[in-house]
C-alpha cells in the first residue's frame, strides 16, 4: 500500500497539472475566468485585489486547519483504544451537531455578525482541537459537538461576510464574485492535498502521534481569528424567521419537481459521503497504508474531478452540469459496487478498495460544482436556505443510521454490508438524477454558459 499510495498521489497530481496547463493555454489571453477582457478587469483593479487578499488571509488558514484534521481523526480514536462502534458514535455526534447547527447557522451569523462569527469559529475549533488531547470519551464527544458548530460556521460565516462586503460596502460588480470563489476553489484543492502530507510528516515522520495534526491546526486557527479582528469590518444580515424560511422552502419544494429530485440526489449522495469519510481509514489502515499520503491522493482525485468538470463544460465537449451530475452518481454507484467485493471477511483486497475510494473522490470532484450550479438555477435564491433545511434532515438521518449500523460486534461482514446499503442508496440517487435529466433535457435554465468556468461552490468534504 505504501508504493501504491505515493504512486497514485504523484500520478493524480500530474494529471491535474496537465489539465490545468491545457486549460490555461486554451483561454483567450490566459485569463483566469475564460472571458477575455471581462476576466482581466477585476485583476487590474488594485482595490479589488487588496480586498481579495484580506479575504484570503483569513479564509485560507481556516481551510488549512480544517483539512489537517481529516487524515488522522479515526486513527486518533483508535489510538485511544476505543472500539469501532464507539468511534462511530463519536462520528455521529459530529455529523448530528454539524447538521443541527447548520439549520440555524445562517440566522446566528446574521444576528451575531459575520466577523464575530468567524472569530467564534477560530475559538471553538481551537478548543475542539485541544480536547483531542483528552482520552475521556465524554470530553471527546463534546469536542465533536464543538467541531460540528465550527463546521457550520466555516461554511456560512466566511462567504456571507465576503458577499456583503463585495456587493454592499465596495459595490464591486456581481460577476466578479466568481473570480474570487474560483481562486478559492483552486487554493482549496492545493491546501487539501498538502494537508495530507503535512499531517503524515508530523504524525508519522516525526513520530509525534495522531494527535499532532490537531495541534498543528491551532496556530492556523489563531492566525485566522487574529487577522479577522485586525483587517475585517463587521457586517450583519437581515433577521429571518426560521419558521417562515422553512415554510417558503416547503412551498418551493412542492411547486417544482426539479427541486425535489435535486434535493433527493443531494441527500442520498452526501449521506453516502459521510459514511465513506468514516470507513476509508479502517479499511486501509490495517494494510499499512500511510494515512496522510492516502488522504492527499483522495484530495488529488477530487481535484482531478473538478478539472474534468471544467474540461467537460468547455466548447470542445459541450456537456452540461446535469450530465455530469448523473455521471458523478453513476461513478459513485460503480465504486460502491466494487467495494462490496473487496471488503468481505477473508477477501480483503486493499488495492481494489483504494482504487474505489479514489473513484468516489473523483465523483465528488464532478458532483459538487454540478450540484452547486443546478441548485442556483433550480432554487430561487430567496428560498434556498429553507429548501436546504428540508433536506438536511434526511441527509442527517441517513448518515447517522449508516454509522450506527456499522460494525455490529456479532456480524463480521459489517463493512461489506454497509457498502452494499450505500450502493442501494446510490442507485436511488441515480434514478433521481436520471429523472432530473429527463425533465431538464430541453430546459434552457439548466444549461451552462458557453465557457469553461466552474461555478463557485463551498468546499465540502
Q: H-type helices in 69-83, by residue range?
A: 73-79
Under the banding of pLDDT at 50, 70 and 90, the label for residue 34 is: very low
Per the prediction, the chain carries an average pLDDT of 85
Q: Maximum CA pair distance of the chain?
A: 65
- What are the respective helix, strand and coil percentages of the chain, to the nearest 5? 80, 0, 20
Distance, CA of 285 to CA of 413 (rounded, Å): 17
Residue 410: CB atoms within 10 Å: 5
Determine the average pLDDT of the residues in 41-45: 77
- pLDDT of 162 reads 94
Which class is domain 248-461? mainly alpha
pTM tops 0.75: yes
The grid coordinates listed for 228 are 479577522
Q: Give the domain ranges of the chain.
A: 52-239, 248-461
At 304-334, the pLDDT tens digits run 999 999 888 877 777 888 999 999 999 999 9
Distance, CA of 293 to CA of 193 (rounded, Å): 9
CA distances (Å), origin 211, targets 132, 357, 457: 7, 24, 30
Q: Which CATH number fits domain 52-239: 1.20.120.1630, 3.40.920.10, 3.40.50.1000, 1.20.1250.20?
A: 1.20.1250.20
Domains 52-239 and 248-461 agree in fold: yes
Of the listed ranges 29-33, 86-90, 341-345, 429-433, the least confidently predicted one is: 29-33
pLDDT greater than 50 at residue 32: no
Distance, CA of 386 to CA of 109 (rounded, Å): 16
pLDDT greater than 90 at residue 196: yes
* % of the chain at pLDDT higher than 90: 52
Amino acid at each position: 500500500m505504501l508504493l501504491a499510495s505515493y504512486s497514485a498521489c504523484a500520478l493524480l497530481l500530474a494529471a491535474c497539472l496537465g489539465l490545468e496547463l491545457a486549460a490555461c493555454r486554451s483561454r483567450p489571453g490566459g485569463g483566469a475566468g475564460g472571458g477575455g477582457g471581462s476576466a482581466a478587469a477585476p485583476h487590474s483593479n488594485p482595490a479589488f485585489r487588496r480586498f481579495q487578499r484580506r479575504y484570503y488571509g483569513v479564509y485560507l488558514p481556516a481551510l488549512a486547519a480544517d483539512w489537517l484534521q481529516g487524515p488522522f481523526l479515526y486513527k486518533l480514536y483508535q489510538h485511544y483504544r476505543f472500539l469501532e462502534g464507539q468511534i462511530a458514535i463519536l462520528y455521529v455526534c459530529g455529523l448530528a451537531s454539524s447538521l443541527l447547527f447548520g439549520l440555524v447557522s445562517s440566522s446566528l451569523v446574521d444576528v451575531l455578525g459575520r466577523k464575530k462569527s468567524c472569530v467564534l469559529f477560530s475559538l471553538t475549533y481551537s478548543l475542539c482541537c485541544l480536547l483531542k488531547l483528552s482520552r475521556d470519551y465524554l470530553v471527546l464527544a463534546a469536542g465533536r459537538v464543538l467541531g460540528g458548530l465550527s463546521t457550520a460556521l466555516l461554511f456560512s460565516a466566511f462567504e456571507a461576510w465576503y458577499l456583503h462586503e463585495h456587493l454592499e460596502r465596495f459595490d464591486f460588480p456581481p460577476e466578479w464574485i466568481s473570480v474570487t470563489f474560483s481562486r478559492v476553489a483552486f487554493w482549496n484543492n492545493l491546501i487539501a492535498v498538502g494537508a495530507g502530507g503535512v499531517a503524515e510528516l508530523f504524525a508519522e515522520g516525526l513520530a509525534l502521534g495522531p494527535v499532532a495534526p490537531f495541534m498543528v491546526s491551532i496556530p492556523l486557527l489563531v492566525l485566522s481569528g487574529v487577522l479577522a479582528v485586525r483587517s475585517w469590518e463587521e457586517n450583519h444580515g437581515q433577521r429571518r424567521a426560521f419558521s417562515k424560511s422553512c415554510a417558503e422552502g416547503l412551498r418551493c419544494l412542492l411547486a417544482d419537481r426539479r427541486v425535489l429530485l435535486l434535493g433527493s440526489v443531494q441527500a442520498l449522495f452526501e449521506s453516502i459521503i459521510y459514511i465513506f469519510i468514516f470507513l476509508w481509514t479502517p479499511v486501509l489502515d490495517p494494510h499499512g497504508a500511510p494515512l496522510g499520503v492516502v488522504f492527499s491522493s483522495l484530495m488529488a482525485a477530487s481535484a482531478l474531478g473538478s478539472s474534468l468538470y471544467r474540461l467537460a463544460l468547455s466548447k470542445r465537449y459541450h456537456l452540461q452540469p446535469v450530465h455530469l451530475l448523473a455521471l458523478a452518481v453513476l461513478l459513485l454507484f460503480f465504486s460502491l459496487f466494487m467495494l462490496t467485493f473487496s471488503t468481505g471477511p477473508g477477501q480483503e483486497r486493499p488495492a481494489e478498495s483504494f482504487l474505489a475510494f479514489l473513484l468516489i473522490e473523483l465523483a465528488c470532484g464532478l458532483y459538487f460544482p454540478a450540484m452547486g450550479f443546478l441548485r442556483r438555477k433550480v432554487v430561487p435564491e430567496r428560498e434556498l436556505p429553507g429548501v436546504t433545511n428540508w433536506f438536511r434532515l434526511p441527509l442527517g438521518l441517513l448518515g447517522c443510521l449508516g454509522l450506527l449500523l456499522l460494525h455490529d460486534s456479532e456480524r463480521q461482514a459489517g463493512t461489506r454490508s454497509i457498502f452494499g446499503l450505500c450502493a442501494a442508496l446510490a442507485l436511488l440517487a441515480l434514478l433521481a438524477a436520471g429523472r432530473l435529466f429527463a425533465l431538464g433535457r430541453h430546459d434552457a435554465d439548466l444549461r451552462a454558459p458557453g465557457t469553461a468556468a466552474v461555478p463557485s461552490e463551498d468546499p465540502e468534504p
